[in-house]
Amino acid sequence: MPTQAAFYFDLASPLAYFAAERVLQVLGGPAEWRPVLARELPGSNRFDAFRCREEQEVFRVEIERRAQTLGLQPLRWPEPFPFDSSLAMRVATYAASIGRTVPFAQAAFRQAFAGGHSLEDPDFVLIAAAACEMHPTAVLRGAEMRSTVERLEATTAAAVKAGVRDVPAVLVGTQVFAGGDSLERAAERMRIEAIDRSPGAAGYELRIEQTGSRST
């Protein structure tokens, strides 16, 4: 079986949006998408903590450049930004319970950062949900269920315990990968673990120990 990874995201993060657009292709193996509240993580990036307007503009230009480099649609900033993602993340958690985390998250990210719509507005959350055939009444009910709230809190707490400090992050085994090249480094780790688990790997290592050299 291939090594499974966990991909942590918050729909308010443009950096997580970039990762979400690439994770399925880059990892080359299964990944469980886990919605978390980034503001509860110990190293969370505060997108409203700029010292001046110029610093904020530099950040936005860099993010827009990154979107262009990745071949994504021109990035459009939601208003307000940052926005409160609480509702959207509860809906993402509800989506996880019915097996629709990935399509909902992708649609919601695109509403926010390709469409320029704040996910504080329930209408845009519901538009994203409708894109993956989630009924609006069921979505709103699911988002307010106590079990949904508790599951989001538990997933966030488990992420902190695992060593996740901010989003996006990828967990492979017990190792957390974060930063701009997190997907690539996680993919390499998954590749190594897949080799280690492959049939014959143990015999190959035994031959190395017996001969003292690697055979070709």
Tell me, yes or no, whether 77 lies in a domain. yes
Tell me, yes or no, whether 185 lies in a domain. yes
Tell me, yes or no, whether 198 lies in a domain. yes
The owner of tokens 């989506």 is: 95
Residue 122: which residues within 8 A CB-CB, separation 6 or more?
87, 140
pLDDT digits (tens, 9 = 90+) for 60-106: 999 999 999 999 999 999 999 999 999 999 999 999 999 999 999 99
Tell me, yes or no, whether 216 lies in a domain. no
> Residues 209, 46: contact at Cβ < 8 Å?
no
Query: What are the φ and ψ backbone dihedral angles of 89, each rounded to 5 degrees?
Result: -75, -30
Local confidence pLDDT in tens for the 216 residues of the chain:
556 899 999 999 999 999 999 999 999 888 999 999 999 999 998 888 888 989 999 999 999 999 999 999 999 999 999 999 999 999 999 999 999 999 999 999 999 999 999 999 999 999 999 999 999 999 999 999 999 999 999 999 999 999 999 999 999 999 999 988 899 999 999 998 888 776 655 444 444 444 454 443
The pLDDT assigned to 2 comes to: 56
Gap between the Cα atoms of 56 and 182, Å rounded? 24
CATH of the domain at 146: 3.40.30.10
Tell me, yes or no, whether 200 lies in a domain. yes
In the chain, the number of structural domains is 1
Domain span including residue 104: 5-211
Nearest residue to 14 via CA among 80, 110, 153: 110
Tell me, yes or no, whether 93 lies in a domain. yes
Gap between the Cα atoms of 170 and 23, Å rounded? 9
Gap between the Cα atoms of 92 and 82, Å rounded? 18
